[in-house]
Amino acid sequence: MPEKLKMPSQDMHSEVWWIRVLDDELTPDEEVRWEAHLLACESCRQELAALTRVDVFLSQVPAPPALPAGFTDATVQLIANKQRWHRMLSFLAGVLVIAVISLLVVGAAGSMLSSFEQGVGVMFSARAILFHSFIQTVLALLVRWRMIMPYMVGTALVAYALVMPNGLLMTFAFVWLSSRRRARGVV
């Protein structure tokens, strides 16, 4: 089997055969058969002529200029520098974006805190004013208790008479409802 792998292809239209022809690897016997095949096969003649023209053309192309010494090292260094600058600029742009957003958040929070502080200050000052006014009123009432005592006693008696379960209003309401029930005949 290894001998079969080494044996060249006998099909003269195959890619393997053409590679051997172009690389001048044909044996003398194969060379004779190839020449006989070219006389009989027009497409192979045209293909060989085209490949020969390409080969001649490529042999006339001047060689590319030689690269200067250290070109590869300089190119790698240039690319590394550009990548370093790109990373640094990306980092700085990220820091700048974070700083701007942080300033906006701090500014908004500071504004809200200032408004909250003012509101709390107003609440405490209003509470202080109301508490101060309430204390002054209570103290004034305590000082002048003789003058308002009849009003307080009268208010307490009226509330007792109207609201308490055994008060006058409740008694009158109970009597009135009972009389209505009797008038309807419901006991």
pLDDT digits over 111-135, tens only?
Answer: 777 777 777 777 777 777 878 888 8
User: How is residue 39 written in tokens?
Assistant: 């006389």
Cβ neighbors of 48 (< 8 A, separation 6 or more) are: 21, 38
- Domain ranges across the chain: 2-60, 82-143, 147-187
Residue-level pLDDT at 85? 94
pLDDT band at 1 (very low <50, low <70, confident <90, very high): very low
Round to whole Å and give the CA distance between 98 and 167: 75
Residue-level pLDDT at 3? 45
Residue 169 near residue 163, CB atoms below 8 Å? yes
User: How is residue 32 written in tokens?
Assistant: 């004779």
Q: Judge whether residue 104 has pLDDT over 80.
A: yes
Q: In whole numbers, what is the pLDDT of the chain averaged over residues?
A: 81
Q: Judge whether residue 6 has pLDDT over 50.
A: no
Residue 156 C-beta-side C-alpha neighbours within 13 Å: 6
Residue-level pLDDT at 79? 94
51-33-36 Cα angle (round to 5) = 75
Average the pLDDT over each of 21-25, 62-66, 81-85, 143-147 and give the range with the smallest value.
Answer: 143-147
The highest-confidence range among 43-52, 100-109, 156-165, by mean pLDDT, is 43-52
- Residue 58 CA: distances (Å) to CA of 51, 52, 62: 10, 10, 9
Q: Which has more confidence, 141 or 12? A: 12
Give per-residue pLDDT as tens, 47-63. Answer: 889 888 888 888 888 88
Task: Give the type of residue at 90.
Answer: S
Residue-level pLDDT at 81? 94
Of the candidates 16, 14, 13, 15, the one whose C-alpha atom is nearest the C-alpha of residue 5 is: 16
